[in-house]
Each structure stands twice: as C-alpha cells, then as structure tokens.
Amino acid sequence: MLNQILPLLIFGALLLAVVGGVRRIRLWRNGRPSDVPIMAGLAALPRRYLVDLHHVVARDKYISNTHVATGGGFVAAAILAILVHGLQLNSQILAWALLAATTSMFVGALFVAKRRVQPPERLSKGPWMRLPKSLLAFSIGFFLVTLPVTGLVPAVLGAWVLALILSVLIIWGLGEMFFGMTWGGPMKHAFAGALHLAFHRRAERFNGGRSTGLKPLHFDDQQQPLGVEKPSEFTWNQLLGFDACVQCGRCEAMCPAFAAGQPLNPKKLIQDMVVGLAGGSDAAYAGSPYPGKPLGEHQGGPFASIIAREGQGLLDAETLWSCTTCRACVEECPMMIEHVDAIVDMRRHLTLERGQTPNKGAEVIDNLIATDNPNGFNPASRMNWAADLALPVLSDVKRTDVLLWMGDGAFDMRNQRSLRALVKILRAAKVDFAVLGNEERDSGDVARRLGDEATFQSLAKRNITTLAQYSFRSIVTCDPHSFHVLKNEYSDFGGQYVVYHHSTFINHLRQTGKLNFAPYKGGSVTYHDPCYLGRYNGEYDAPRDLLAAAGIQVIEMERSGFRSRCCGGGGGAPITDIPGKQRIPDMRMEDIKQTGAEIVAVGCPQCTAMLEGVVDPRPEVLDIAEIIAKQLVEAEEAA
C-alpha cells in the first residue's frame, strides 16, 4: 500500500515545492536587475557552500557538525527517497544508502532538538521550534519505510494501520522539508540560501576574498533610484539574500547598537526585509525585537515605502541610523548576508531624496560641502598642526615615495598627537614622504555612510584629481576610514592606489631594520581592533606584530580580531546619535577594563575619540604610533 502512496506523496510535495519556488522567485524578481553571472554562479555554488559558508558556520563547532549531519543527511535522503520510493527503483544499495542518510539526519536532528530545549536568546523561536520535530519525522518516516525495501523486515509490516502512521510522518516530513522550503517555512533557508550563494552580489567574498567597499550609485543612470525607498528597489539578489536568513541571531549577538539598547537588531532588520518583499506585518516574527519597539506595529509590502512618510512603515528611520557600519553582523552571518549594504541603501534614500539625515547629520554634510571637512574648519587650516614640522608638501615637491594622508584628524588636537608621532617615526626611518597639505579633502567616508553618495563622489573625484597631479608610490594614513575609502572605494572612480594603514607600514619599516626600539617599560597594553582596519580590511596582525616587536605583550580582549566590538564611532553614528540605554564606547571600555590593561592601543582617530570620551578612571588611550614613537631609539645625529 505504501508503495502506491509514497510516489504520490513525494511527487506531490515536489510539485508543490516547485510551485512555491516559482512564486518565491517572482517575489525576488520584483527587485531591480543585477548583472550577476547566472551559470557561473550556479557552477560555483557547491564550493561556495562547502568551503566558504562552512568556514563561517564552523566557528560554532556544535552547529556545524549538527548541520553537516542533518543537512547532508537530508540532501542525500531526499535524492535517494525520490529514487527509491518515488521512482520505486528496487536497489538494495540505494535502500541501504537511504537508511544511512536518514540515520545521519536523525542523529543531527537529535542535536538540533537538544539545542532547542533551552535555546539561546539570539535564536528565533516560532516555527523554528517545530523544525527539529519535522526533521525527526522525515528521517524516522523514511527510515522505517525503507526497511522493507532492504529486506530487513518483512513487507507484511506494510499493514495499513502502520502505513497510515508512516504516511503521517512522511507527509509531515515532506511538508516541512519540500513544501515549507519554498512556501516560507524554516527550510526556506536551504532553497534561498543556495541561490543566494550562487548569485551573491559580492562574489569576491568567496575563495577567501574580501569585498567591503560600498557599491556606487550611478547618477547618470536615470533608471536607478537614489537609494532604496521600497523593497522592490533593492536588486533582486539582495531580496534573495534576505530570504536566506536562518534567524540564528549571530548578528544580533554581535551588534553593538543592539547591545547598547538602540533600536536596531540586524536579524530583525533582515526579517523585516523578508516581510517587506512578501508583504505583511512583523507580528509573526519570533525573535528579539528592536529594543524599545514592540512587535506587530509595523508592516510593509514590496511596493510600499519602507520608512513611511506618515504613520508606521516597515521600519523606523532611527533603526537605520543606529548602525555603526561595523560589519560585525556581516562578519558573523553564516549565510553571508549583506546587512550594511542594505542599511546604506535605505539611508541613501533618506538623505538624498528626503533630506532626513537626523541630528547633526545635515550640519556635517553641509560642512563637507562647504569646507571639505565634517566640522566646518577653515580648509586653509588643515596644516596648522604641523606648522613647526616643515613637512614637504606635494604641490612643492611634486613627487615622493610615501604620501602621508592626514585625514580630518589633522584638525583635531588629540589626533594631532598621533600624527606627530607618526611623523617622528617616518623621519626616524628616513622615509621619503610628503603631504597634500591644504589640498587634501575629507575622504568622503562619513558622507557616504550617512547616505550622501553625491557628496562622497564629489569629494572622491576631487581627491582623485588632486592625487593624479603628483607622483607617489604609496599612501600611508593613520585613519582606517580614509584607508578603506582610498583603498577600496576610490577604484570605482578611477583612483587606484597602494594604501597602507600606518601600523602596517611601520611594521614593514621595522621588519626592514629601519627602526630600533628601546626596551618597553610602560604599562600593560591591550589592543582594540578598529572595524575599518580589521573586519573591513583584514589587518589584524601588523599592529600586534609591531607591538610585540616593541617588547609589548598584548593582553587580548575576549572580543578581539574579527570579533572586535565597535567603539561606536563608525558610520556617522556619533553624528546621528540615536539614543539607547548605554553608550557603545562605555561597553567597549568595559571590555578593555576586563583585561586589566593600563593602556589601550588603538589605530584609529575615531576610536581614540570615542574611547577617550569615556569618563575616568579608565585605561589610557594611545595610538599605536604614539606608543612606538616613545620606544624609538634614534641613531645619533652627526655632530
């Protein structure tokens, strides 16, 4: 009797899955076009899944092993079940293989179930609590119906009562695993996730690559909206990416804004985008809400404004402005979803179309437009900090080995100390360097992250024009934001440079014997990784190597390296200044204090400012250049 039912059930479920899949694909296709290569993407899928994605998942050994057993077991079981029970291929080998696959899946499902006994906060509940049972139903059901095929048990067991029970298990399992996959159940992640990997908008991220620069708006393209107002204004593969979310909440656990009680939760944001692309409200969402924002009050659809002009939309603007663009969420996401891109896309709309950059945002943008620096300083005073240093200026010398990019920290009395320390080091190493002087402009980082792509591009293009007049081999800067923008974001506008963060460059000077250090006698040191140096550019080692070479043993924070917690200073967050329950830099300073270190070494003017803004008593905040400059043993000058 089962022999008659099973093909029906399997192919029925598959048919429904296909229908669901087509419907889902149509939802994604509401998005704007994206020129990803379809076939190449599909061809790259297995490797992207098995290597790149697994690399992220494997940070949590429990769940990666569980997933290998469950997911691997399911994929094998599904294919084998279609062959053995759907097509009724009478093969002992296939039947035994199916038994093995369902066993693997069963064991995995037990671990899934175990984790759901007391699930961590970050996991979504709701339908996800059902999933382990569905996995068990599928694996048990197909295990049992396969036993007769192997001849291990007599076929008489196919008595109809038992058959009925088994059918229920099979229907349940098939329903969740096949039907649910394309009709919005938890298994959607497998379907959407696979396609998302194939059609990812940042293919450079695979094979160990890195792609963190924002994608430019093309102002000459009349079809392109200025940012994203409605879900349908995302590209189709962005929408697809949102659908890949497994609601594991690893992003939520790492998000500094969420921890600070600001109204942002990256997981919820992605789920809201899912609600937006399919239409509906967030009432069914079963995870942690945005702090201070109850569920069920927001709704949207593919063609509705995400941020409502009146009343409630899908999101409140302050959710978007809470983000520091630290990329902790992106770094953690096992599905490699691009949260920051989405946030900046929506910010672009708010800033460019509505002029609704909150708090000091508009003032900063006005300053950037009028004075080429965010604080509105007289642009002719950019070199004041170095009035007594007689720095070579490129407009005089025309060519140099190293262009020292000062950044807007040149206007800031605190950062001037770091810059002066850096100059001291460069001089000690006899580096041939020069500055742009008053010709330097803000890199455009803040404007871009506040959504003002126009001002960013204006600054970028003018900087590129200035740079084109001179000859230099590389750019060195102590500002990771300038570093990132010059290195990764100017290339879209024709600016290709060799750019080094000062820690990398100084470390190189050290390695080539150009610097000598005295024995370190200062206090104990921990190191804070700046987001735009670490997660954005993968530089974790040079600052540590450099400090070690200077005789400093860095006491690591629990959250360091790629898991470093943001200082709160990125993405214009201090400018838009969305209130929370606590301040991000205070939390970071707590991380620092837990190490017991007397000094926190930093490599970013923004981090320095944020961390120094924490009230005393607290460890001293020193730029890595300041620490190194103090350790220099300068060769005796000729008399």
Residue 64, interface with other proteins (CB under 8 A)? no
User: Among 413, 615, 635, 638, which residue sits at the site for other proteins (rule: CB under 8 A)?
Assistant: 413
In the complex, least distance from residue 622 CB atom to other proteins, rounded to whole angstroms: 12
Residue 117, interface with other proteins (CB under 8 A)? no
How many of the chain's residues bind other proteins (CB under 8 A)?
A: 16
In the complex, least distance from residue 298 CB atom to other proteins, rounded to whole angstroms: 41
| Binding residues for other proteins restricted to 415-434, rule: CB under 8 A | 416-417
In the complex, least distance from residue 385 CB atom to other proteins, rounded to whole angstroms: 8
In the complex, least distance from residue 608 CB atom to other proteins, rounded to whole angstroms: 12
Whether 90 and 193 have beta carbons less than 8 Å apart is answered as no
- The residue range among 271-279, 365-373, 413-421, 491-499 that interacts with other proteins, by the rule CB under 8 A, is 413-421
- The residue range among 42-50, 68-76, 136-144, 411-419 that interacts with other proteins, by the rule CB under 8 A, is 411-419
Q: What are the start-end ranges of the H helices in 372-443?
A: 394-397, 413-428
User: Among 375, 438, 474, 524, which residue sits at the site for other proteins (rule: CB under 8 A)?
Assistant: 375
Mask of contacts with other proteins, 521-560, x by CB under 8 A? x---------------------------------------
**Among residues 125 and 414, whose Cβ is nearest to other proteins?**
414
Residue 638, interface with other proteins (CB under 8 A)? no
Q: Rg (Cα) of the chain, in Å, rounded?
A: 28
Tokens read off for 165: 């029970």
Tokens read off for 294: 């109850």
In the complex, least distance from residue 324 CB atom to other proteins, rounded to whole angstroms: 25
User: Among 316, 408, 412, 529, which residue sits at the site for other proteins (rule: CB under 8 A)?
Assistant: 412
In the complex, least distance from residue 415 CB atom to other proteins, rounded to whole angstroms: 11
Whether 581 and 322 have beta carbons less than 8 Å apart is answered as no
**Among residues 45 and 389, whose Cβ is nearest to other proteins?**
389
H or E element at residue 106: helix 92-115
Tokens read off for 36: 């990803």
User: Among 389, 393, 464, 554, which residue sits at the site for other proteins (rule: CB under 8 A)?
Assistant: 389
| CA 276-280-286 angle, 5° bins | 90
In the complex, least distance from residue 413 CB atom to other proteins, rounded to whole angstroms: 5
User: Among 38, 93, 156, 387, which residue sits at the site for other proteins (rule: CB under 8 A)?
Assistant: 387
Round to whole Å and give the CA distance between 70 and 135: 8
Whether 193 and 521 have beta carbons less than 8 Å apart is answered as no
Single-letter amino acid, residue 78: A
**Among residues 272 and 412, whose Cβ is nearest to other proteins?**
412
H or E element at residue 114: helix 92-115
Contacts 24+ apart (CB under 8 A), 594-597: 594/557, 594/558, 595/524, 595/526, 595/555, 595/556, 595/557, 596/524, 596/555, 597/523, 597/524, 597/525, 597/526, 597/555
Round to whole Å and give the CA distance between 593 and 606: 19
In the complex, least distance from residue 523 CB atom to other proteins, rounded to whole angstroms: 10
| Binding residues for other proteins restricted to 462-521, rule: CB under 8 A | 521
Residue 388, interface with other proteins (CB under 8 A)? yes
Round to whole Å and give the CA distance between 106 and 104: 5
**Among residues 61 and 521, whose Cβ is nearest to other proteins?**
521
Round to whole Å and give the CA distance between 276 and 291: 20
- The residue range among 34-42, 107-115, 371-379, 601-609 that interacts with other proteins, by the rule CB under 8 A, is 371-379
Whether 607 and 412 have beta carbons less than 8 Å apart is answered as no
User: Among 111, 377, 493, 497, which residue sits at the site for other proteins (rule: CB under 8 A)?
Assistant: 377
Round to whole Å and give the CA distance between 436 and 392: 9
In the complex, least distance from residue 372 CB atom to other proteins, rounded to whole angstroms: 16
Round to whole Å and give the CA distance between 422 and 436: 16
Judged by DSSP in three states, 39 sits in helix
Which residues contribute to the site for other proteins (CB under 8 A)?
375-377, 381, 384-385, 387-389, 411-414, 416-417, 521
